[in-house]
Amino acid sequence: MGIVSTITGAFGFGIGVSIGLTMGYYFFIYFQPSHVEDPKVRPLVERDAKSLQQMLPEIPLWVKNPDHDRVDWLNKFIELMWPYLDKAICNTVKTIADPIIKEKIPKYKIDAVEFDSLSLGSLPPTFQGMKVYTTDDKELIMEPAFKWAGNPNIHVAVKAFGMRPTVQVIDLQVFASPRITLKPLVPSFPCFCQILVSLMDKPHVDFGLKLLGADLMSIPGLYRFVQETIKDQVANMYLWPKTLVVPVLDPAKAMKRPVGMLHVKIIRAMKLKKKDLLGASDPYVKLKLTEDKLPSKKTAVKYKNLNPEWNQEFNLVVKDPQSQALEIIVYDWEQVGKHDKMGMNVIPLKEVTPDEPKAMTLELLKNMDPNDTQNEKSRGQIMIELHYKPFSDDQLPVDGEENMIEKAPEGTPKGGGCLVVMIHQAEDLEGKHHTNPAVRVLFKGEEKKTKPVKKNRDPRWDEEFLFMLEEPPTNDKMHFEVISSSSRMGLIHPKETLGYVDIHLGDVVSNKRINGKYNLIDSRNGKLQVELQWRTSS
């Protein structure tokens, strides 16, 4: 009886499976429609609240926020470069981490911490969008939305107490919204001095840890504790307004900021050769530093004298003592026509010992070409005194403080100072006949002028001028006039004014620095950006 039941049950099971498969094919495959419609694509505005809520985390920032730009090109670039970026980043991490680890592990009685393997995996990070800011200061601000769900291969071995356990990092996810600031912008490659990084929100960091094959994050309470600890520690270090500063260039060298003062005393000249056919010459001296846009300094004219004596002193601002040189040229003054050059010489500042006065007697040459035989001809001598005084450390800009107000150079009159004027740019300039703008600066009878920019309604100059003053200009004002000169030899409209503005300097004295855009008078929409700094010796 048992054998019959077994045979019958097996026979029934086989028949039942066959009938079930046949019915399944009949109902679920045979009756499936042969025509499949394309899915309907619906705009976001037609979605209901529930579906939108589900989709919201996956919508890129450039869709949700119109002030964020789409950066697909950047994601494509990173995707193609990722195999090389992976190796470069990992090598940098090892270089930075190794000395830090060696310094810290003795406190915990650990013999060594080593990377058995370090790779960020094959999945690159992506940027969901980027916002770019522009300010009146010399800086560029970017806010990218950063997401990375990677598959890293990170194995860290810890040697301690005769054991060597290995910890593996898996399933790494990092979501962050950093603010990246490039400042200050300078005319030297790569065109910025520092990279400042801040986090606008606490980052989302998620990862797993395996020790001896077991997932440590499965321990109750450990996962949440590790996540919150990492978020809090990173936020304490880099959450805005705190920043991570990455130096790229020396601001003092890149921006050619003043690093010292050169005191020059023109004493006398001897045995000058006369240039006039009748009578003696009328010599005077022009001196300036090379690579400097400021006008030359001039001595008084000594009439009908081939052995003139001046005893005049000048102060010149030094920005790069390794490359700059003092250029001295003696001219014969002419009432009409071009002044004749009597001789010249050049002194490289790197040959001048700082803080040591030095008296020199120089031979006057025709030019600085060592192969020119005419330099062998005697043209007289000039006697001068030099004293180069570098600024002290507390007078120089500090890294990360490029807007710091520097002190005036040593030797500035007591109670006086140095007024620094920086002409940055203009906007929406309009000329009736031409727009080749330049800026004239008028102050206490002294005039400075930028170089013209041809055919430009939004010119940028970034030129700097210095005014040495005996007392603070508390009640004074400075006149800025934007002028346009014809680029051709036009006689009908050679010059025209594009607008002007008068800036009161009381705020500069009290605040030490102002930087703003000013509406130009007699201009429809024109604006001029000017930065002023007041540097004192105290």
* Mean pLDDT rounded to a whole number for the chain: 79
- Lowest mean pLDDT, pick from 257-266, 345-354, 404-413: 404-413
Radius of gyration of the chain (CA): 37
State yes or no: pLDDT of 398 exceeds 50. no
Residue in the block written with tokens 């005014």: 467
3-state helix, strand, coil in the chain (%, to 5): 25, 40, 40
For residue 168, pLDDT beyond 80: yes
In three-state form (DSSP H/G/I as H, E/B as E, the rest C), the secondary structure along 435-474 is: CCEEEEEEECCEEEECCCCCCCCCCEEEEEEEEEECCCCC
CA distance 443 to 92: 53
Peptide linkage before 203 cis (omega within 30 of 0): no
* pLDDT given at position 254: 62
Least confident of 169-183, 479-493, 508-522: 479-493
Q: Indicate if the pLDDT at residue 500 is higher than 90.
A: yes
Model confidence band, residue 406 (pLDDT cutoffs 50, 70, 90): very low
Mean pLDDT, range 28-41, rounded to an integer: 57
Residues in the chain: 538
Alpha-carbon gap, residue 368 to 448, rounded angstroms:
29
The rounded distance, in Å, linking the Cα atoms of 469 and 423 is: 19
Q: Which of 147, 246, 156, 150 is nearest to 192 (CA)?
A: 246
What is the pLDDT confidence band of residue 528, given thresholds at 50, 70 and 90?
very high
Judged by average pLDDT, the poorest of 135-144, 314-323, 386-395, 477-486 is 386-395
pLDDT band at 24 (very low <50, low <70, confident <90, very high): low
Structure letter (DSSP) for residue 375: G
Q: What is the distance between the alpha carbons of residues 239 and 430, in angstroms, rounded to a whole number?
A: 45
Report the candidate in 251, 203, 235 with the shortest Cα–Cα distance to residue 401.
Answer: 251
Between 11-25, 101-115, 129-143, 419-433, the lowest mean confidence (pLDDT) is in 11-25
- Whether 56 has a pLDDT exceeding 60, the answer reads no
Tens digits of per-residue pLDDT, 428-442? 998 888 888 999 999
pLDDT at 399: 40
Confidence of residue 227 (pLDDT cuts 50, 70, 90): confident
pLDDT at 429: 92
Q: What confidence tier does 249 reach under pLDDT thresholds 50, 70, 90?
A: confident
Would you state the pLDDT for residue 502? Answer: 94
The pLDDT-based confidence of 489 (bands split at 50, 70, 90) is low
CA distance 77 to 497: 48
Burial class (CB in 10 A: 0-12, 13-18, 19+), 120: buried
Q: Is 538 exposed, middle or buried (0-12, 13-18, 19+ CB in 10 A)?
A: exposed
206: helix, strand or coil = strand
Q: What is the mean pLDDT of residues 301-307?
A: 88
State pLDDT tens for residues 321-372: 888 899 999 998 887 778 888 889 999 988 888 888 889 999 888 888 877 7
What is the bridge-based pairing of β-strands 140-150 and 153-159? unpaired
- Picking from 238, 226, 172, 173, the residue whose alpha carbon sits closest to that of residue 202 is 238
d(CA 323, CA 504): 37
Taking the CA of residue 520 as centre, how many other CA atoms within 13 Å lie in the half-sphere pointing to its CB?
Answer: 24
Q: Which helix (H) or strand (E) covers residue 236, if one does?
A: helix 222-238
Cβ of 189: how many Cβ atoms within 10 Å? 8
| C-alpha–C-alpha distance, residues 382 and 285, integer Å | 10
Rounded Cα–Cα distance for residues 285 and 341 (Å): 10
pLDDT at 514 over 80: yes
**Which DSSP string corresponds to 136-157?**
SSS-EEEEEEEEEEE--EEEEE
Report the first-to-last Cα separation within the chain, whole angstroms.
Answer: 118
52-56: average pLDDT? 60
**Closest by alpha carbon to 360, among 293, 264, 257?**
264
